Amino acid sequence: MSAARAPVAAIVAAEQHSMASSARWLLFRNRIKQFWFEVVIRHPPFQGCGERIAISWTRASASMQCRRDNMLYRGQHIVFRQSKCSGMIVLSEKREKAMADLGIRVVSVPDRALKAYLEERCPAIDFVLWDDDAEPSVRDLSVIDAVITPYAHSSRTVERLASLPRLKLVQTQSTGVDNLLGRVPPGVLLCSARGVHAASTAELAIGLAIASLRGIDVAARNMSRGIWQEERRLTLTDRKVALLGYGSIGQELHRKLAAFDVETIRIGQTARRDEHGDIHGIGDLVGLLSDTDILMSSLPLTPATAHLVNWAVLSAMKDGALFVNVGRGGVVDQDALAVELYSGRLSAAVDVTDPEPLPEGHPLWSAPNFLLTPHLGGNSSAFLPRIRRFLAEQMTRIGDGRPVVNQM
């Protein structure tokens, strides 16, 4: 390994994209043929840290190649320690071929309208109906290569996944896949509908915040009792908002909130920088809350985020602060939230709970300063046209032998 190290200035940009995004490249300013960097591999096949990997730049294709032990890999998440720059390198020909050779020919869909829509647009795929209210035929079970699950992750469909001998891919219609993790057979690809619900869910989060701050829920209850009560309430304008979670929903929230003249703090699962500035890591959460007016969570439920918003987080929020949750209910310690609400110190407006629905007699049903909607975030008029376009594109990718997107 005698090749000289490249200067830090050689790195121009690294766009962070899914491993399935085969059209994004890491580009270099200098005409460098080969150099070495210390890298940390974040995804298989390498799990080691600080391995030396040759990074080659081919001008003809403007592509990056990582070589180790004479094997070509592209698509591994690497961190350039010298340049503090991270990103995704595109898939290798070997990886793309493996994905193209999934052999998916028959895909089950949960309703007739979706089946007709996809058949018209994706002629390379055979679609069979798997209505969750009816059992599929033995023949269908034996030939299904991929399953598009019902929107609500119906347990009947999910419970039958292990009985599909040819199953290679499960495609959900939701952003979160927490209730499918551990239930999809080993070796089967799981893909989410990340991005489909972002606009609708972000819209609801802002609506919940405004309704709570301006007392719209209180006015609605007063109206039913014939009460006219004037009072000065808070506005969303000029508030300091912390966005907990910076995936597709968090990014959409950031974009929409700009119209309200708010100060936003972004908190992702990992610390990083982008064109808008710093994104804090979750480890910084408690320290950022003392002067934050609104905490909006759009986090998915994972082992790392379960009960992340606990007593320590809630107690760090300033008096009179508002908590909004449109991610997953399991991210929040419901008992700790109830204690803060009954104390009168905090307000909350949430679209998700744990469990769903809340059981009869749960303290949150009658908690003061609490606004609850029944998981409406992605369930809007925007859902149907957007999910259909997304699924048609995903199925077209499969039919064309191109990599699928939103792999979990």
Annotated catalytic residue within 95, 254, 266, 375? 375
Annotated catalytic residue within 95, 280, 328, 386? 328
Q: Does the annotation count 307 as an active-site position?
A: no
Contact 19, 407 (CB under 8 A): yes
DSSP collapsed to 3 states, the chain: CCCCCCCHHHEEECCCCCCCCCCCCCEECCCCCEEEEEEECCCCCCCCEEEEEEEEEECCCCEEEEEECCEEECCCEEEECCCCEEEECCCCHHHHHHHHCCCCCEEEECCHHHHHHHHHHCCCCEEEECCCCCCCCHHHHHHCCEEECCCCCCHHHHHCHHHCCCCCEEECCCCCCCCCCCCCCCCCEEECCCCCCHHHHHHHHHHHHHHHHHCHHHHHHHHHCCCCCCCCCCCCCCCEEEEECCCHHHHHHHHHHHHHCCEEEEECCCCEEECCEEEECHHHCHHHCCCCCEEEECCCCCCCCCCCECHHHHHHCCCCCEEEECCCHHHECHHHHHHHHHHCCCEEEECCCCCCCCCCCCHHHHCCCEEECCCCCCCCCCHHHHHHHHHHHHHHHHHHCCCCCCEC
The CA distances from residue 82 to 7, 36, 54, 85, 354, in Å, are 8, 11, 15, 8, 43
Q: Does the annotation count 280 as an active-site position?
A: no
Q: Does the annotation count 38 as an active-site position?
A: no
Annotated catalytic residue within 81, 221, 356, 389? 356
Residues with a catalytic annotation lie at 328, 356, 375
